[in-house]
Chains A and B, each alone.
Chain A
Amino acid sequence: MSKIDLISTEFFKKKDIYKILEVAETMRILLKGSSRNAPHLTGKTVLLYFPVNDTKTKLEFQLASEFLSASVVDVTTHESQLKNYQSNYDMANLIEQMRGNVVVSSTAIAGSARHLSSKISASVINAGDGYNENPSQCFDTLFLIKRYKGDIENLKVCLIGDVLHSNVCKSYIFALNELGAKVSLSAPSTLLPVGFEALPVEIHYQPEEAIKDADAIICLPLLDDFDEYKSYLPSINEYKKGYKIDQELLEYAKDDAIVIVNGEPKRGIEVSSRVDIINQTLVGEMTNNCIAVKMALLYLLT
């Protein structure tokens, strides 16, 4: 039997995406119950390969695997070793010998999940590879939108923020288009890669135009290290004046629009303190949502 990978959302079909979201819904109900253990992955091994320090995603996958009764092995090497091309190559060999069923990989190298997949017989879930794609996070957000909006088809979803340094942005564009949603995008020109025009997405430099009549607004966060932006932006202050999601900007969107941020937003820079956001963090009910999606992915891939 050929293995199934989750590396990119580019060639995903509508029915597959909906299937993942449906299973995630079942998992969410399961998580609400008194016993959180389900036997779906008994006897299977999930390997976590997280050279990039993404504690939130790693924890979610770890919990998701354990709730599904899989054994979890952390095969993360230190990031500094990754710079040596040998260790990635050796890592693939090691993983192959461990004979895991699923490998969840999150690295700083674009294309690494694809490379890993070509070397091993286990399924690979891409939880972020450099600035390439991040389908696992994409499904978290899709699940949220579906829960709040019912149906994704014909919605208008607006992406605002740092497109250049966002891997999940491309996953959103592919998946949302497949589902029949309209995607618009707004970013400063220097944070927008050349060649994006060819993607099925509306591009506006002015966020007011992009956000017009939007049903959901997704904030693409800035990097933590503002020094990175020295050659891209004159100052964070100027960015904030143009691209902060605040009440004024949301006037242009639909009244019931939701704002989604992954992780803790930089309040006052990316999102105004007053705006209600649906925060995909490890707090409250949202935790369950993210874990449910990850359980669905693990279950469907094995």
Chain B
Amino acid sequence: MLLIKNGQVVLEDEVVHADIYIEDGLIKEIGKNLIKDEQVDVIDATGQYILPGLVDLNCELYDPGREHNEDLESLTEAAFAGGYTSVGVMPSTIPVIDNKVIVEYINNRVKLETKLDVLLYGQLSKGGEGRELSEIGEMIKGGIVAVTDGNVAFEDKNFFNMALRYCEMFDLPIILSGVEKHLKETAMLHMGHFAAISGLKSMPPQSEELLFARACMYTRYKDNKVHLTKVTNEDTVYEMKFTKQRQKSITTDCTAHHLYFVDVDIASFDTRFKVIPPLREKKDVDALIMGLREGTIDCIVSGHTPQSKRRKECEFEQASFGASTIETTFLASYSKLCVENGFTITHLAKLLSTTPAKILNLDDRGKLETGLLADIVILDPNKDTYINQKKFYSKAKYSMFDKMTLNGSIEKVIKRGEVVFSSQNNE
């Protein structure tokens, strides 16, 4: 039993000054001047925003397989520190999540070992190779919430078409990526000025647009619920703006670091900025913010891709793609969108929590309503947070935002009525 008093409660369309009473892990009551005389823990949230717990659509879980990058425990701590209470994870484990056994194994471990809701995505093809369909129906019985091509688009058009056709049978979102496999293997930068100077191989922005347009075309007359993840490019945003008018079922997202950084930030060959899809240009950043404002881009994801330090402490060309972002995405989005660009806090809650929950068909979270899960983030807008990568909970202790000061401070994170992160403990 928990009572949060005097907070600015961010509801779907408005912000109200109210108290929230939590019982049995659910939101029992939202109202003014709630008085509970029993033994209730009280959190005073005067002057602070109370938002629904964040839901991530694109995060990497390397457990089992590459636990040195990130394991379940460190991901849980990192996610809570970043305000995330539900995390959808890509099937980047070893073995790949492409059958029921591995789904059940990970789900059992999640149940036993962590309080975080780790939502598994199934790989559309066996081994992620894009040749044979995996057992999608079986995996759904095991408990996956979405299927995905796993951060690399399928090369084989016929297989892609067939996979989409097969998924029509299930009411499951298909999460698709805009990165070409052969580009991921050879190129590492946005095709632009910095790529020309550095002499590194680069990815043309058109390739992303092409892949996303391809996904839209193939699903035009199908009943698929397609979600295109990590839009980075200006042209893609325009393309999606028109496509979405025709195809209402398509949703898109972008990451917070693509709203902040551009390719010239890599100028000193800093491997922290080696991410996929690559950082683009200023015009692309502007287009993304416009897309978020107009609703062309539906949500923001963390794109958390932890890599071990050794994989990052080498030359740019040899470093792995990856960014440790789950702990900074919320504050970065708040600073960039709400403080700099005048987005409302309700809009931010939609981008980070309500819409992602809706995309994954999770109707028990993503909003602050009575009867829903008591997943809550308390944000203090009057404080600032100095990002220190060494203090990260994630095993990947490097960040693009290192030594930057972001607006806002995550005061408390509550998962199913239990305080799982508190800023006081952090200091």
Looking at A85, A130, A199, the one whose CB has the most chain B CB atoms below 10 A away is A85
B108 located at the interface, meaning its Cβ lies under 8 Å from any Cβ of chain A in the complex: no
B158 located at the interface, meaning its Cβ lies under 8 Å from any Cβ of chain A in the complex: no
A94 located at the interface, meaning its Cβ lies under 8 Å from any Cβ of chain B in the complex: no
Q: Which of B197, B199, B311, B315 contacts A88 (CB 8 A)?
A: B315
Interface pick from A16-24, A95-103, A189-197, A278-286: A189-197
Q: Is the CB of B191 within 8 A of A195?
A: yes
Chain B stretch 191-239: residues in CB contact (< 8 A) with chain A: 191-200, 202, 204
Q: Is the CB of B195 within 8 A of A195?
A: yes
A115 located at the interface, meaning its Cβ lies under 8 Å from any Cβ of chain B in the complex: yes
With a CB–CB cut-off of 8 A, which chain A residues contact B109? none
The answer for the CA separation of A195 and B310 in the assembled complex, in Å, is 31
The answer for the CA separation of A133 and B317 in the assembled complex, in Å, is 14
Looking at A10, A111, A199, the one whose CB has the most chain B CB atoms below 10 A away is A111
With both chains docked as a complex, state the minimum distance between the C-beta of A130 and any C-beta of chain B, in angstroms.
6
The residue in chain A whose Cβ has the minimal distance to the Cβ of B319 is A85
Q: Is the CB of B195 within 8 A of A85?
A: no
The answer for the CA separation of A10 and B267 in the assembled complex, in Å, is 11
With both chains docked as a complex, state the minimum distance between the C-beta of B233 and any C-beta of chain A, in angstroms.
14
- Chain B interface residue count, CB cutoff 8 Å, equals 23
With a CB–CB cut-off of 8 A, which chain A residues contact B194? 195
Q: Which of B193, B269, B314, B317 contacts A195 (CB 8 A)?
A: B193
A198 located at the interface, meaning its Cβ lies under 8 Å from any Cβ of chain B in the complex: yes
Q: Which of A86, A110, A198 contacts B317 (CB 8 A)?
A: A110
With a CB–CB cut-off of 8 A, which chain B residues contact A132? 197-200
Q: Is the CB of B269 within 8 A of A114?
A: yes
With both chains docked as a complex, state the minimum distance between the C-beta of A94 and any C-beta of chain B, in angstroms.
15
Q: Is the CB of A195 within 8 A of B315?
A: no
Looking at B194, B269, B310, the one whose CB has the most chain A CB atoms below 10 A away is B269
A112 located at the interface, meaning its Cβ lies under 8 Å from any Cβ of chain B in the complex: yes
With a CB–CB cut-off of 8 A, which chain B residues contact A110? 198-200, 269, 315-317
Type the 1/0 row for A83-95, where 1 means its CB is closer than 8 Å to any CB of B. Answer: 0011011000000
The residue in chain A whose Cβ has the minimal distance to the Cβ of B204 is A194
With both chains docked as a complex, state the minimum distance between the C-beta of A110 and any C-beta of chain B, in angstroms.
5
The answer for the CA separation of A161 and B266 in the assembled complex, in Å, is 28
Q: Is the CB of B192 within 8 A of A131?
A: no
For the side of the interface on A, what is the size category?
20 to 34
Q: Which of A86, A115, A196 contacts B269 (CB 8 A)?
A: A115
The residue in chain B whose Cβ has the minimal distance to the Cβ of A192 is B196
With a CB–CB cut-off of 8 A, which chain B residues contact A167? 199
Q: Is the CB of B191 within 8 A of A194?
A: yes
With both chains docked as a complex, state the minimum distance between the C-beta of A214 and any C-beta of chain B, in angstroms.
23
A223 located at the interface, meaning its Cβ lies under 8 Å from any Cβ of chain B in the complex: no
The majority secondary structure among interface residues of chain A is loop
Chain A stretch 65-110: residues in CB contact (< 8 A) with chain B: 85-86, 88-89, 109-110
The residue in chain A whose Cβ has the minimal distance to the Cβ of B268 is A114
B313 located at the interface, meaning its Cβ lies under 8 Å from any Cβ of chain A in the complex: yes
Q: Is the CB of B197 within 8 A of A199?
A: yes
Type the 1/0 row for B296-340, where 1 means its CB is closer than 8 Å to any CB of A. Answer: 000000000000001101111111000000000000000000000
Q: Is the CB of B196 within 8 A of A193?
A: yes
- Contacts A193-B196, A195-B196, A198-B193; is A130 near B202 (CB within 8 Å)? no
The residue in chain A whose Cβ has the minimal distance to the Cβ of B195 is A195
The answer for the CA separation of A198 and B193 in the assembled complex, in Å, is 7
The answer for the CA separation of A86 and B319 in the assembled complex, in Å, is 11
With both chains docked as a complex, state the minimum distance between the C-beta of A246 and any C-beta of chain B, in angstroms.
29
With a CB–CB cut-off of 8 A, which chain A residues contact B319? 85
A170 located at the interface, meaning its Cβ lies under 8 Å from any Cβ of chain B in the complex: yes
Q: Is the CB of A85 within 8 A of B311?
A: yes
With both chains docked as a complex, state the minimum distance between the C-beta of B314 and any C-beta of chain A, in angstroms.
4
With both chains docked as a complex, state the minimum distance between the C-beta of A77 and any C-beta of chain B, in angstroms.
14
With a CB–CB cut-off of 8 A, which chain A residues contact B311? 85
With both chains docked as a complex, state the minimum distance between the C-beta of B31 and any C-beta of chain A, in angstroms.
57
Q: Is the CB of B314 within 8 A of A115?
A: yes
The residue in chain A whose Cβ has the minimal distance to the Cβ of B281 is A195
With both chains docked as a complex, state the minimum distance between the C-beta of B143 and any C-beta of chain A, in angstroms.
37
Q: Is the CB of A193 within 8 A of B195?
A: yes
The residue in chain A whose Cβ has the minimal distance to the Cβ of B269 is A111
The residue in chain A whose Cβ has the minimal distance to the Cβ of B200 is A110
The answer for the CA separation of A53 and B234 in the assembled complex, in Å, is 42
Q: Is the CB of B193 within 8 A of A109?
A: no
With both chains docked as a complex, state the minimum distance between the C-beta of A161 and any C-beta of chain B, in angstroms.
15
With a CB–CB cut-off of 8 A, which chain A residues contact B269? 110-111, 114-115
Q: Is the CB of B197 within 8 A of A115?
A: no
| A-B contacts besides A85-B318, A85-B319, A110-B317, 9 pairs, CB < 8 Å | A85-B310, A85-B311, A85-B314, A88-B314, A109-B315, A112-B317, A193-B199, A194-B204, A195-B194
What residues of chain B have their CB less than 8 Å away from a CB belonging to chain A? 191-200, 202, 204, 268-269, 310-311, 313-319
Which are the 10 A-B pairs with shortest beta-carbon distances? Answer: A131-B199, A195-B196, A111-B269, A193-B196, A195-B193, A132-B199, A85-B318, A85-B314, A111-B316, A198-B193
